[in-house]
Structure 1
Amino acid sequence: MSINHEINRLLHFAVQRELMKEEDRYYAANRLIDLLKVDAFTPEDDIEEALPTALPILDEMLGYTAEKGIIEDTMEQHDLFDTRIMDCVMPRPSEVIRRWQADYARSPKAATDQFYKMSIASNYIRKDRIDKNIIWKTPTEYGDLDITINLSKPEKDPRDIAKAREQKSTEYPKCLLCRENEGYAGHIGHPARETHRLIPIRLSGHRWFMQYSPYTYYNEHCIVLNRKHIPMKVSRRSFENLLDFVTILPHYFLGSNADLPIVGGSILSHDHYQGGRYTFAMAKAPVEKSYTVPGFPDVKVGRVKWPMSTIRLSGIDRDQLVDLATKIMDAWRAYSDESVDILAETDGTPHNTVTPIARRKGEGYELDLVLRNNRTTDEYPLGIFHPHQEVHHIKKENIGLIEVMGLAVLPARLKKEMAALKQEWIKGTEDISGIEEIKSHAAWYKEIRAKNPEAKPEDLDKVLKYEIGKVFETVLTHAGVYKRTPEGMAAFDRFMQVVTK
C-alpha cells in the first residue's frame, strides 16, 4: 500500500464528489501530508476510478496510521481519525451555506439533494454502516409498518471504554445537538464532528439550524435544532416552527418529540425536531371520523385510523391551524378521564402532552397531534402508555416521534436472537425457557409456533419478521392513550366534545 497513492485517490474522490474544487488540491494535499506524517508527496494525474464512497481509501489510510502508531487500532479511534482525514477535503461551513443558498434559488429539492449528497460523500453519514441495518415492512390493518433492526452503531472496544474513564468531563459542547459541535474534533465518548455542517433556517423569526442525522433511520433523516441549549418544550411556537419549516422545504415533513420523560425522545435537554423526505404509514392512514370545531370553519378536524390516538388538522390557513392546535393541546394538558387511566397530573407533576407532526398536502398543510400521557403505576412502572412487559423481549425503549409515525427502531441483539430462535424451531424445540440467550422470547416463541405449525425452514425468516412487526403493532397499541375498542373510542369522543364546545 502506497500512502502517496491513497492521498491522490482521496483528492480525486473529493474533486469528483464536489467536496472541493481542483484549485484546492495542493492545499488539501498538504493538510493530509501533515495529518498522516508523510515526508513527501508526488501528484498522480492518471486516477480514473469512480467510487460511491471514500470508505476503501479511508480503510487503507487507517491501516497505515495504525501500523505507524499514529492511532490505536480501535473502532472509536478509527472514527475520530477518519473524520479528521475527511475534514482535510471538506468545504468550510460558509461555503456549504453559500452552495445551499445557490441551490435553493433553483429549488428547495435541489438544495436538500446536494446537501445530502455532500453529507454522504464526506462520510458524515456513515452509509456503509446504515446499509447493514435489517429493514422490512409488515402489513397491518393500519398500513405497512417499517421495521428496522439497528446494526449501524458499532459496539464499544474495551480499550476505548478504559480511555473514556480517563477523559476529563467538559461542558463544551453541552450536548450532541449543540451547534458548537460543527467542526468539533471529538474524543473518546464524544463523536468527531469535523465533517459536520449546519444550514441556518429562520423559524418564527428565530435562528435554527438543520443537519442530517449521522445514522439515518429513513431517507434524508434530518434534525432541526435550536441555536440555544434549552430544554424541549411543545408550545404554540412549536406549531409555528413546524409549519414554517414545511413551507421552506415543502417536500419534507417535520415533527417534534413530546416534551415529557417516558413519552419523549432520547434527548430532552436540547430543543429540536426531526424530519426528512419519507412517507410513513401514519401519513397514509385515513381519517375515520370528522369533527366540527366552532370558530375554525377552514380547518378540517379528524380522528386518524392509527393505533396511537391522533387528531389530524388540515387546511390552508396556517394561523387557524396554529390556533386550533394550541386550543387542543391546552385542553389536553388539563384533561383527565379516570375511566381510561388518564390523569392530567398527580401531585403537581404534569402527565399530558402531544407529539406534533407537520407535512404539506399540495398548497395546504396537515398537522397531526398525537395525544400522549406518561403516568406510571405499580402495575406499569415504566408507563401505562408505554410498551408493556409482554413485549419487552422485542421493544422496551421509549416510543418517540419515529416510532409514533410507524417505524420501529429495534435493538441489534435481535439479529442474533432471531437466528437462535430459528435454529431451535428447525430442531423442533418446544420450550426455550432454559436457553439463556433467548429465554426472554419463550412465551412468544410458543405462541408463534402454534400460529405457524406448517412453517418450513425456508419460511422461518419471513415468519419471524412478520411476527416481530405484529409485536410492534401491539407496542403502538400499548402507547395509545385511547384503545381502539368501543369504550376507548367513546372516551376519545368525550375529549373531542371538550375541544368542539
Structure 2
Amino acid sequence: MIHNLVQQLINQALTTQLIERVDERYARNQLLSLLHLEEFMELESTRGKYDEIPDLLDQIVNYACAQGIIEDIFDEKEIFSSKIMNCLIARPSTVNQLFWEKYKQSPKKATQYYYKLSKNSNYIQMKRIRNNIEFKATTEYGMLDITINLSKPEKDPKSIELEQAAKKNDYPKCLLCVENEGYVGRIGHPARSNHRMIRVNLLGDQWYLQYSPYVYYDEHCILLSEKHSDMKVSPKSFLRLLTFVKQFPHYFVGSNADLPIVGGSILSHDHYQGGHYEFAMSKAEADWIFEMAGFPKVECSVVKWPMSVIRLRSKQINMLVEAGAFVLERWKNYSDEGLEIVAKTGETVHNTITPIARKNGELFELDLVLRNNRTNAEHPLGIFHPHADVHHIKKENIGLIEVMGLAVLPARLKEELGEVEKYILGESHMVAAYHLAWADVMKVRYQAIANNANIESLVREELGKKFLKVLEDAGVFKRNEEGRAGFQRFIKRLA
C-alpha cells in the first residue's frame, strides 16, 4: 500500500509539473528515506489512477503515524506533510529564476506560475480552503463578500498541551519573517519546508512575495519586508505600493493601518497584502469630487463606501505619492471632537490611514481609508471599531481585507447560524444567548415567509447587513448629514 501511495504522489507531481521525468527516481528515494523504507516495488495499478495530492498526503501521513515514524498529533503531521512536499519542489533559486523568466513574457504569466506552484505544493491549503462557506450579500454599496472561515483545523488537546509547554523560541521572529522559507517547523510554529518566496526589488530594498496559505480571494498574496521591523504607514509606503502595481498591474496591493485596534493581526513586521481580485470597494463610485490646489494633475474624490475613503487618481506615480503624503499629514493632525475624532492624546497618536493601490487603465489609483483608534467608556474596544451590537458576528480588528468589503467571520458561525435558522422556523434549537436579540428580530420579520427552502438565504442576507454595520461602525465620518458635513470640513483642509 505505501509503495502504491508513494508512486501515486510521484505521478501527481509529474502531472502538475512540480518535477520533471528526470527527477522521478531522485524524488522517490527522498520520499522513501522519510518513510524509513529501504526498498521499493512499483505496482502497475499506480499508472493512470491516483488521488489528488492533499488526499495522498493524508494517507501517507496516516501511514507514518501507524508505523511510529511520527506521533499522531497535529503539528507533527503538518511538519511531516510539508517535508514530503519539499522533496517534490525546486529550491528557491530555481523557483525565482523561472518566475522572472516568465515575467519577461508578462507579469500575469509569472504570478500564474507561482500561484499554481504554491497550490500544487500544498503550501496553499486548497483542500481545507474549500471547507469555507462563501457567499455574497447585496447592499447599496455593491456585493459584499462573506466568508465563514473553516479552513484552519482545530488542534487536538495533546497538541495544545505540547504547545503550551514548548520552550519559547524567537526563530523565526514572527510568521512573516523571511527565515520561514524552508523552515521545518516545530510545536506551535507552522511547518514551512514547502515554502518558497519570490524576491522583489522595491525602491532598492529586498522584499518578498508569497501567497497566503489560507487564501481568502484569488491570488491572495503577501508582500513582506526582509527586515523584521514594525508596520509603518508613510509616504514611502505609498511609493512602494504604487511601484509594486506598476510591476504587477493586474494586482492590487494595500497595507493594514499601523496602529492597534484599526491595524491588522501582525503589526510587528512591515508587510502588505494584494492579489488578483476586484473588491466591492474598488468598484465603488465617487460620492463627490474635490480638488487639491497643490495637485492639479490628481483627480480627487470621496468614495461612496460605508467607511471614509479618499480616492486619488493620476498617471504620475510621484504626484500621487505627494498628494497622498499631504492627505496623511493633514489627517494625522486632524481633530473633530464633535464627531469623537481626536488626533492625539498626549503623545499617543490616534489617526492613521489604510492605503490601497491599483492600476485602472492608464491611471494609478491610491485609496486612503481614514482610521482612528480611540476608545471610550461606551466603546472600550474602539469608537471606530465594531460596536457591541455586532460582536456576536465580528469582534476582531477591521483590517485591510474587511475594509475593502470581504468579511472573514469565525468558524463558530457555521453551527450557530444553523441554530438561528431553527429558531426562526419554530423548531427545537440551541441558539447562543448572544444571537438571541438578533434572532428575535428576524423571527418577527420573516415568520410569514420563512421555510426550509429559503431560511438559509434569509439568514445570510441578514448576516450581510450585520457586516455592513461593522463597516459603518469603523467609518470615522458616518454616512449621515452630520458625518457628511464633518467629512467636508476635513476636505476643506486639503484645498
Which residue identity is paired with 2:243?
D
Aligned to 2:108: 109
Paired residues for 1:449-464 under 5 Å: 449-454=443-448, 455-464=450-459
CA distance in 2, matches of 1:217, 1:375: 29
Which residue identity is paired with 2:148?
I
How far off is 1:446 after superposition?
1.1
Q: Which runs of 4+ in 1 moved over 6 A?
A: none
CA distance in 2, matches of 1:394, 1:220: 26
Q: Deviations over 1:318-363 (max 9, x none)?
A: 1110000000000000000101000001121000000000010112
Paired residues for 1:317-328 under 5 Å: 317-328=316-327
Which stretch shows the higher mean deviation, 78-87 or 214-223? Answer: 78-87
CA distance in 1, matches of 2:293, 2:148: 45
Helix, strand or coil at the partner of 1:261:
coil
Which residue identity is paired with 2:320?
L
Which stretch shows the higher mean deviation, 136-145 or 167-176? Answer: 167-176
Paired residues for 1:252-401 under 5 Å: 252-401=251-400
Checking the alignment, whether the CA contact within 8 Å between 2:4 and 2:46 is kept in structure 1 is no
CA distance in 2, matches of 1:470, 1:421: 16
How far off is 1:166 after superposition?
3.0
How far off is 1:42 after superposition?
2.8
Helix, strand or coil at the partner of 1:254:
strand
Paired residues for 1:200-239 under 5 Å: 200-239=199-238
CA distance in 2, matches of 1:51, 1:216: 26
Checking the alignment, whether the CA contact within 8 Å between 2:8 and 2:51 is kept in structure 1 is no
How far off is 1:77 after superposition?
2.4
Helix, strand or coil at the partner of 1:135:
strand
How far off is 1:58 after superposition?
1.0
Checking the alignment, whether the CA contact within 8 Å between 2:424 and 2:447 is kept in structure 1 is no
**Identity of counterpart residues, as a percentage?**
50
Checking the alignment, whether the CA contact within 8 Å between 1:198 and 1:210 is kept in structure 2 is yes
How far off is 1:43 after superposition?
4.3
How far off is 1:26 after superposition?
1.7
Helix, strand or coil at the partner of 2:26:
helix
- 1:499 matched to 2:489? The reply is no
Helix, strand or coil at the partner of 2:355:
strand
Helix, strand or coil at the partner of 2:454:
helix
Which stretch shows the higher mean deviation, 455-464 or 300-309? Answer: 455-464
- 1:251 matched to 2:250? The reply is yes
Which residue identity is paired with 2:205?
H
Query: Aligned match of 1:441 in 426, 435, 438?
Result: 435
- 1:470 matched to 2:470? The reply is no
Aligned length: 494
Q: TM-score, normalised by structure 2?
A: 0.98
Aligned to 1:488: 483
Checking the alignment, whether the CA contact within 8 Å between 1:13 and 1:50 is kept in structure 2 is no
Helix, strand or coil at the partner of 1:457:
coil
Paired residues for 1:118-133 under 5 Å: 118-133=117-132
CA distance in 2, matches of 1:450, 1:77: 50
CA distance in 2, matches of 1:348, 1:165: 36
CA distance in 2, matches of 1:404, 1:53: 35
Which residue identity is paired with 2:22?
E
CA distance in 2, matches of 1:263, 1:364: 29
Helix, strand or coil at the partner of 2:297:
coil
**RMSD (Å) for aligned C-alpha atoms:** 1.4
Aligned to 2:53: 54
CA distance in 1, matches of 2:214, 2:52: 16
How far off is 1:74 after superposition?
2.7
How far off is 1:428 after superposition?
5.5
CA distance in 2, matches of 1:133, 1:349: 39
How far off is 1:420 after superposition?
1.1
Which residue identity is paired with 1:128?
K
Which stretch shows the higher mean deviation, 96-105 or 305-314? Answer: 96-105
Q: TM-score, normalised by structure 1?
A: 0.96
Checking the alignment, whether the CA contact within 8 Å between 1:308 and 1:482 is kept in structure 2 is yes
Q: Deviations over 1:271-323 (max 9, x none)?
A: 00000000000000001100111121111000000000000001101111000
Change (3 A) 1:48 1:297: farther
How far off is 1:76 after superposition?
2.8
Which stretch shows the higher mean deviation, 449-458 or 43-52? Answer: 43-52
- 1:33 matched to 2:28? The reply is no
CA distance in 1, matches of 2:28, 2:68: 21
Q: Deviations over 1:46-76 (max 9, x none)?
A: 7443768402211221121111011122333
- 1:412 matched to 2:407? The reply is no
- 1:157 matched to 2:138? The reply is no
CA distance in 2, matches of 1:421, 1:259: 37
Checking the alignment, whether the CA contact within 8 Å between 1:391 and 1:475 is kept in structure 2 is yes
Unaligned runs of 5+ in 2: none
Change (3 A) 1:93 1:51: farther
Helix, strand or coil at the partner of 2:296:
coil
Which stretch shows the higher mean deviation, 465-474 or 3-12? Answer: 3-12
Checking the alignment, whether the CA contact within 8 Å between 1:76 and 1:157 is kept in structure 2 is no
Aligned to 1:424: 423
CA distance in 2, matches of 1:209, 1:44: 42
Checking the alignment, whether the CA contact within 8 Å between 2:8 and 2:50 is kept in structure 1 is no
How far off is 1:182 after superposition?
0.2
CA distance in 1, matches of 2:50, 2:304: 45
Aligned to 2:241: 242
Which residue identity is paired with 1:490?
A
Helix, strand or coil at the partner of 1:499:
coil
Which stretch shows the higher mean deviation, 15-24 or 365-374? Answer: 15-24
CA distance in 1, matches of 2:6, 2:273: 36
CA distance in 1, matches of 2:190, 2:180: 9
CA distance in 1, matches of 2:22, 2:458: 56
Checking the alignment, whether the CA contact within 8 Å between 2:230 and 2:267 is kept in structure 1 is yes
Helix, strand or coil at the partner of 2:432:
helix
Checking the alignment, whether the CA contact within 8 Å between 2:386 and 2:470 is kept in structure 1 is yes
Helix, strand or coil at the partner of 1:458:
coil
Helix, strand or coil at the partner of 1:358:
strand
How far off is 1:108 after superposition?
0.6
CA distance in 2, matches of 1:52, 1:106: 33
Helix, strand or coil at the partner of 2:493:
helix
CA distance in 2, matches of 1:377, 1:339: 14
Checking the alignment, whether the CA contact within 8 Å between 1:204 and 1:237 is kept in structure 2 is no
Unaligned runs of 5+ in 1: none
